[in-house]
A and B are shown apart, each in its own frame.
Chain A
Amino acid sequence: MRARPPLALTAALALAACAPEAAPPAAQSAARAAPSELVPAEREGKVALGLQHATAAELYAALKARANGGAPLSLDDMPDWTGFWQRVGPPLFDPEQPAGVLTTAKLRPEPLAELTRRRELSAQGIEYDPISDCSPPGFPRWLVIPFLRELIVRPEQTWLFSETVNNMRRIYTDGRDHPSPADAYPLDYGDSIGFWAGHTLVIHTSQVKAGIFHRNDPQYSEALEAVEVWRKTDPTTVIADVWIYDPVVLEEPWYTQQTYKQVPNPDGYLRIDYWHCGENPNNAIERTDEGTSQFRNFTFTDDDDR
């Protein structure tokens, strides 16, 4: 287990990093009661913020206290997140992962061994992705999958939509809590509640199914919980700070920042249609006994090319 930074150092880092972010003028009005007061500006400070809290629920509660409980959005002062968005960055959960590094997550030994083994097999061409059978990527992998997105904001609820297999996350901002433990069970996208601090959306998600962060990323367990802080930083950019807590898999919270850029659509021709994953039966992929992927009835020989 990697040693955590001393608490005093963590606190100092956090305080130093809490200096207001230098937002460009265009972003200032959109940001409203700027998130700079809510989370530190620099990555180190955000990592340290995660380390200060033992669980995602604690971090979420701390952010809520810092925002004085948050304030409901008003229809006459809504953030403009309209349009289509696409994630930018490499196909890794942490876009800032340096080349040649297995992962920036601090993994426990067993998940580390699993990831190492999976990457070795992948290098040999042996790979199977659960979404090959049209399963949803699930959360938090939802954050990093490609294709078009819509971020639909209303005061009582925000819908975070990804075109891939029509993924829809629902963020309840009407003050409700998570279901009681007796009513909670693992879901593809978990259960998400949130609050608004100005035009910044803070989300806590629990009740997720186990999965993988992405093809070349670690696995996660049903114990995973996440805190996200979403905000529009300029007219074409929405950023999400994400803290992942998963005591089964992670030695410490995993902080990443995800960036989504607005897709130009001046003529309005770009429209999202229904994604019918199983539409083309030739796309059906089965997992073989050795753990690799086999297209149904496809052997990739000349006979298939007919």
Chain B
Amino acid sequence: MLANVRRCSSCRRFKPLAAVAVIGVLASAASFAAIELPSEKAALIELGKQHRTAWDLYKAFEAQANGGQRLNPARLPDWTGIYSRSGVLFNFDQDQGRSRMPTAKLTPEFERRLIAKLDNIEKGIEFDNLSNCAPPGHPRWMTEPFLREFVVTPDQTWLINEMVNDIRRIYTDGRDHLPEADRYPLWNGDSIGFWDGGKLVIHTNSLRSGQYQRTQPEYTEQVETVEIWEKVDHKTLVAHIWVYDPPALLEPWYAKHTYLKLTNDDKLLRIHYWDCAENQNNTVIQTEDGSSQFRDFTFTDKDDAK
């Protein structure tokens, strides 16, 4: 792989067309990229901290990639198949391990809120908005379980999670975000991106507030993200993400997410429509103390007899 050969600071020099042409002989157009990410997590964290906002980081990547390239329609990256997130599903950053607190540098207010939430969970008091069929929203989308598809076309990429038919649209046709006057918070925000060789670079804004996962911090409507997606081997897609959210985070939160292609030799594994409310017994109501109550279920012996 060409990645990790150069640090980002030297990537800007990698512009001459002649050099591109020479390298192009050695590497396919789909795999060549000007953006070289550091291999160490500390450097990736530092990269985020070098930029004040997600937009600044995105524009820096864009400059490194000379604006990026439109994908060659005849040589699209092969992200076909069905994938699933690997690792500890309910940690936004896998490196949290078994720690109670996440790796994010939270502001005092959001640290206090997280501790209060975790304390309640330990007492069995918990309600997840997913329980009433709301979508997880982005960036929580990154951490959800179940099946995923990644549909790559030159002008747009669809990042699909089976759960609640959750689809992110990444516009790579050169359009910008909506003007500020037309923006409002959306479940999966508004995502634009560009391709740099086999890397898809995404900037997302216009998000609703939410939580990264059940045992993870909350984020606000000011949250913005930069992602770099890349297929690193025949069955592994990796997404680097930097999250910026000034009210909740003291500094950008970097995490790496890995999605593994599932074996599907007989092609019987197929994604179907997810009708969240199909089973009325699954209906969950939030109680006054913030806990969850299955509709008409009290979990007594009487219910078991039904």
Contact = CB atoms under 8 A, between A and B. Distances in A.
Contacts of B273: 136, 167-168, 187-189
Contacts of B134: 276, 278-279
A144 B267 CA distance: 29
B173 interface: yes
A134 B80 CA distance: 30
B158 A159 contact: yes
A174 interface: yes
Given A75-B76, A76-B73, A152-B151, A278 B277 contact: yes
Chain B contact residues: helix, strand, loop or mixed: loop
Contacts of A135: 275, 277-278
Contacts of A279: 134
B267 A152 contact: no
Interface stretch (A2-10, A44-52, A105-113, A267-275): A267-275
B204 to A, nearest CB: 13
A154 B151 contact: yes
Interface in B80-102: 80
B2 interface: no
Contact of A75 (B74, B165, B169, B178): B74
B275 A274 contact: no
Nearest to B187: A274
Nearest to B75: A75
B13 interface: no
A248 interface: no
B166 interface: yes
B132 A278 contact: yes
Nearest to B206: A273
Contacts of A269: 178, 182
A187 B151 contact: no
A82 B268 CA distance: 28
A59 B153 CA distance: 32
B interface, size bucket: 35 or more
Nearest to B178: A269
Contacts of B270: 170, 172, 179, 191
Interface string B137-167: 0000000000000011101101010001111
Chain A contact residues: helix, strand, loop or mixed: loop
A265 B134 CA distance: 29
A176 B153 contact: no
Contact of A179 (B80, B152, B173, B268): B268
A163 to B, nearest CB: 10
B151 A273 contact: no
Contacts of A271: 169, 171, 178, 190
A76 B75 CA distance: 8
B135 interface: yes
Contacts of B186: 273-274
B306 interface: no
Interface string A171-194: 010101001000100011101000
**Which of A74, A168, A174, A279 lies at the interface centre, i.e. has the most chain B CB atoms within 10 A of its CB?**
A168
A268 B169 contact: no
A268 B54 CA distance: 22
Contacts of B178: 269, 271
Given A273-B187, A274-B188, A170 B165 contact: no
Given A75-B74, A75-B76, A269-B182, 17 more contacts: A75-B75, A134-B133, A134-B277, A135-B275, A135-B278, A152-B153, A154-B151, A154-B153, A159-B151, A159-B158, A161-B167, A166-B166, A187-B272, A272-B169, A274-B135, A274-B187, A278-B133
Interface of B: 73-76, 80, 132-135, 151-153, 155-156, 158, 160, 164-167, 169, 171, 173, 175, 178, 182, 186-188, 190, 267-268, 270-273, 275-278
21 contacts: A75-B73, A78-B73, A82-B153, A82-B155, A134-B277, A135-B277, A136-B273, A136-B275, A152-B158, A154-B80, A156-B80, A166-B164, A168-B165, A168-B271, A170-B271, A188-B275, A191-B270, A271-B171, A276-B135, A277-B133, A279-B134
The 9 closest A-B pairs by CB, nearest first: A166-B165, A76-B74, A268-B175, A274-B187, A188-B273, A176-B267, A75-B74, A273-B186, A187-B272
